[in-house]
Amino acid sequence: MMNNYNDNNKNFNNEELAHYESNPYTAPYNNIQSAPAPVKQKKHTGAKAAAFVLAMALVSGGSIACYRTLEIKDPASASTSASSSKDENEKVTPLDKEMNALSASALSLIDAAENGNKILTTEEIAEKVMPSVVGIESTFSVPNNQGSYYFGFGEFGGNNDSSATGTGTGVVITTDGYIVTNAHVIYDSEHGAGKAESISVLLDDEKSYDAEIVGYDTDYDLAVLKIDADEDLTPAEFGKSDNLKLGEDVVAIGNPLGFDLMNTVTRGIVSGLDRKITINDKNMSLIQTDAAINSGNSGGPLINKYGQVIGINSSKMSNSYSSGATIEGIGFAIPSDIVSKIVDDLMEYGYVTGKPQFGISCQDVTETVSKMYNLPIGVYVTAVSEDSAAEKAGLKPGDIITGIDDVEVKTSEELNAQKNTHQAGDKIKLTFIRNDEEKTVTITLDEVKKNK
C-alpha cells in the first residue's frame, strides 16, 4: 500500500533557504541556409492547367472536410467518421495529417466558445487568478510534556508548551471574505497541536487580516476561513474537475517555503485522474499533477486552461517513498467537484453533512494478538458512545466486528472504508463475535455533526 506521502503540511518559518541555484535556459537557433537559385523549367501549359485544377480540387475538398468536421462536437466521432470515409489500404498523405490537425484545433476552439470559455495563455491565467490567491499563517501551541521531539522543521522540548508557526495558501471564494484552504494548514493532527490558536491571511496587496475558522474537515482536508477586509475581494472562478482530461495543461499558484516566495507560479499537466491515495490514514480520491507543489503550496489552486480552479493542492509524494529513490513531480489536488460540496456544507453548517458514524472506539485484533489471546481477527470495540447508533443497536465493549453487509473486515481501516460507502441514515448489517458466538445486528448510521 502506498502510504509514504508528505502531507505537504505547514511550512514552518524557522526553516532557512540555504541555497538558490540559477538555471538559465538558452535555445539555439536552427542554422538557416540560403535556398538554391530556381532552375528554369520548360513551359508546359497543359500541365500547368491540370495542376491548377488539381490544386483547386484539393483546396475545395479540404475546405469541405474541415467544414463537416466542425459540425461534429465529439472529437471521437469525428475521428471515426474521417477514418471510415477512406479506404483502409489508402495511404495517409501529409495534407490529410495537416487537415486532421487543423480540425482538432478548430474543435478545441469551438468547444471553448460553446462553453463560454476562452483558452488562456499562462500569463493570462496568472493575471486572472493571482488576485484570488492569499497567504495563510497559522500559530499552534505544541505540547511538550513528553520530552523533546521534532515538529515540522523545528525542534521543541521541555515541559512547557511551545509555539510553532506554519504557512500555507488559500483561495478567495466570495467577495465578502470567505476563503478555502486545506484543513492541515489550520489544524495539526500529526503532532497533537490541534486547531491553530490564531490565523492571519495575507492578501496580494500585502494587507494582513485576522481570520476565523468557519469550519473544517480533516477527512476531506478542507477548511473555510473568513476575514473582514476593508474592500471587496476577488473570488476565483471554479470549473468542473470532471471535465479534466489526462495530459491537460494545468497551472499551480502558491507560497512555497513561506511568504518570501509568495505567489509562485508553476506549470504542468494532469498526470492522473481519480487517484486513490491514503494520506495519514485518510483515503482520498485526488488529481495527480507534475506541476511543482511544495511545502507552503497547501490550499492553493490548481487551474485549468480557462483560468478556472479545478483543484485545491493538498499533498505530494515524499522522497522517502523508497530507499534511495528520488521522486519528482508527483503532487495531488482535491478535485473542485468535491471541494464545492464540502465548502457549501462548511459555510452553512460548520461541518460536512451526511457523513456516517457508528459511535464506537476500536482497535485491530491482528494475527499476532489473535494467537496470543485466542481471539478472532477483526475490529475490537473498546468503547461505545452514549445514545449512539452502536448503543441503540446493542453493540457492547468487547465485541469484535468481522463484517459489514456480508463483506469481511479485518481492520478498522477496512471497517471505515465500508462504512463510508454509506450515508448517515442508511441501515447496514453488522456481523460481530461476542463470547465466541457470531451475531448480526442492523444499525442505522448516525450523522457526524462536529469537526473532525
- 388-417 pLDDT, tens digit per residue, is 999 999 999 999 999 999 899 999 888 988
* Positions marked active-site: 184, 221, 298
Average pLDDT over residues 1-17: 41
- 23-70 pLDDT, tens digit per residue, is 322 333 233 233 333 334 444 444 433 433 333 333 333 322 232 223
Res 91: pLDDT: 59
Res 341: pLDDT: 92
Among 329, 327, 332, residue whose Cα is nearest residue 283: 332
Q: Can you state the angle between helices 75-84 and 45-70, rounded to 10 degrees?
A: 140
Strands 11-12 and 162-172: antiparallel
Average pLDDT over residues 59-83: 34
Which of 127-136, 315-324, 367-376, 403-412 is least confident?
315-324
* Domains located in the chain, CATH noted: 238-349 (2.40.10.10), 356-447 (2.30.42.10)
Which residues 6+ apart lie within 8 Å of 289 measured at CB? 250, 252, 268, 269, 270, 271, 302, 311, 331, 332, 333
Residue 324's pLDDT band (cuts 50, 70, 90): low
Cell of 232: 471587496
Do residues 180 and 339 make contact, with C-beta atoms less than 8 angstroms apart?
yes
Average pLDDT of the chain to the nearest whole number? 75
pLDDT at residue 262 is higher than 60 = yes
pLDDT at residue 83 is higher than 50 = no
Average pLDDT over residues 153-165: 54
